[in-house]
Amino acid sequence: MRRSFLLAAAGALLCGRALAQSFTAAEREEIVSILREALRRDPSILRDAFAAIQEAEERERATAQRTAVAAHRRALFEDPADPVRGNPRGDVTIVEFFDLRCPYCKRLHADMAALLRRDRNLRVVMKDLPILGPQSVVAARALLAAQRQGRYAELYDALMGLRGEPTEAAIRAEAERLGLDHARLRRDMEDPAIQRRLDANIALARALRIEGTPALVIGETLVPGAVPLAEIERLVAEQRQRRR
């Protein structure tokens, strides 16, 4: 009981605003005195208080993200303009936010390719999120321009497989290798409608509190970072179970 009280007090002390609102000046002075003596005897109290605060913040963030996913469900899962990989009629949808220059996205690309080969009933909605500089924007525009020629997936795979940067020269080489009309690709890349789509993806990512790439949305769960393939498969299985 005493340790629980000390942890709560330490947590309040670390959150200065909450402390100021919860206790009188005399109570604050007494708590500080008790904590100083307790920390001298058992420094782990402070460590445990930090851990408790972190856990509470993570729970709050997860709740806010689930709420945001529900609020933006149509933009996430049902935008007919979005490129789709896998089975367009799949029973589970994964939304993937990515940047072609992101090394973690490249790592995830290999895992997702393996997952799509194994799971023929999976639908993956692609959300280009060019956040790593001007070259990311150029590459994202090229992908959306390639979509107009029906070759989004092929160019995506090619650019994800590059060892170097997706420069304009590299994009042209890969596009021509795949048989795309490069002159048309260049014209379409400059279409303001493509930039508006990228802007919409960025706004959606902000609404979901996505802070980097890659990020996946599976059901109501937002998964930040390149998590192991087994974790993605677990979430997909859970989503299928819920749909039964």
Residue recorded with tokens 């940047």? 99
Q: What is the DSSP string of 87-122?
A: -TT-SEEEEEEE-TT-HHHHHHHHHHHHHHHH-TTE
Query: From residue 235, how far is each of 43, 94, 121, 223, 231 by CA, in Å?
Result: 38, 10, 14, 10, 6
| pLDDT, tens only, 10-29 | 555 555 545 445 667 777 77
Each domain of the chain, given as residue ranges in start order, spans 2-67, 74-243
Q: What is the mean pLDDT of the chain?
A: 87
Nearest 10 degrees: CA dihedral of 42, 48, 53, 59? -160
| pLDDT, tens only, 39-94 | 677 777 656 666 666 676 666 666 777 788 999 999 999 999 999 999 999 999 99
* CATH H superfamily, domain 74-243: Glutaredoxin (3.40.30.10)
| pLDDT, tens only, 154-197 | 999 999 999 999 999 999 999 999 999 999 999 999 999 999 99
Give me the amino acid identity at 177. Answer: R
Predicted model pTM: 0.76
- Which tokens hold the place of 44? 């782990």
